[in-house]
Copies of this chain bind each other. A is one copy, B any other.
Amino acid sequence: MGKPIDLRGMQDYQNRQKRESPHVPKDLMRYDLLAEEALRGVVRAAVVRAAEDGLPGSHHFYITFRTRFPGVHIDEQLLEKYPEEITIVLEHQFWDLASLDDAFEVTLSFGGAPKYIKVPYAAVTSFHDPAVGFGLKFNMDGVRTNEDAGPAAQAAATGQQAGDGAVAGEVVSLDAFRRK
């Protein structure tokens, strides 16, 4: 097992930024957004691996994405049922998983009916692999500035749903990733 990547510096940086004290210099580089953008690459790499070689061992993915994000292809019925976010599970019942440059596509069973979906990686709000408790959550505030973060954007990040077969029954949050 390799040494885990050392994120202490990043965590310290985040804790300081969270305090927003006048003594903390404003981050003009927006490292938070750069890191978030970069870590979407982990989701992509995981999907690529699963598409090429299948899921190793007991690994499986919970992927939450915004259903109305530009570029999402999703069945009208699903969109009606999940107008903001949906959580899909890639474990047993999925077919034709493929990763394109900026999106992945897969066919999943919803209530017994196979449905094709296409998800831009930029639409993903969280990724979770319960086998090892690995998770990432994306805040999706990359496109808004300090000023224009309104209630609508907040709502989009918290709105949620549940479902059948291929859909997780609860909001996937990083808190849930912690093993008791």
Q: Which of B5, B29, B133 has a CB less than 8 Å from the CB of A16?
A: B133
Please tell me if the beta carbons of B35 and A5 are within 8 angstroms of each other in the complex: yes
Please tell me if the beta carbons of B37 and A49 are within 8 angstroms of each other in the complex: no
**With A57-B26, A141-B2 in contact, do A38 and B41 touch (Cβ < 8 Å)?**
yes
Judge whether A152 is part of the interface by a CB distance below 8 angstroms: no
Please tell me if the beta carbons of B9 and A137 are within 8 angstroms of each other in the complex: yes
**With A3-B141, A14-B5, A133-B13 in contact, do A42 and B32 touch (Cβ < 8 Å)?**
no
Please tell me if the beta carbons of A8 and B139 are within 8 angstroms of each other in the complex: no
Interface size class of A (residues with CB under 8 A): 35 or more
Q: How many copies of this chain does one complex carry?
A: 2
Q: Which of B1, B25, B174 has a CB less than 8 Å from the CB of A132?
A: B25
Please tell me if the beta carbons of B7 and A10 are within 8 angstroms of each other in the complex: yes
Provide the bound-state CA to CA distance between A177 and B9, in Å.
Answer: 6
Provide the bound-state CA to CA distance between A18 and B2, in Å.
Answer: 9
Judge whether A135 is part of the interface by a CB distance below 8 angstroms: yes
Chain B residues in 8 Å Cβ range of A8: 174-175, 177-178
Judge whether A66 is part of the interface by a CB distance below 8 angstroms: no
Chain B residues in 8 Å Cβ range of A32: 2, 4-5
Please name 27 pairs of A and B residues whose Cβ atoms are closer than 8 Å in the assembled complex, sorted by A: A2-B139, A2-B144, A4-B32, A4-B139, A5-B35, A5-B138, A6-B139, A7-B7, A9-B135, A9-B136, A9-B174, A10-B135, A12-B133, A13-B177, A16-B132, A16-B179, A25-B57, A25-B58, A25-B132, A28-B56, A28-B57, A29-B49, A31-B132, A31-B134, A34-B45, A38-B39, A38-B45
Binding site for B on A (CB under 8 A): 1-14, 16-18, 20, 24-42, 45-46, 49, 56-59, 128-129, 131-139, 141-142, 144, 146, 149, 174-175, 177-179
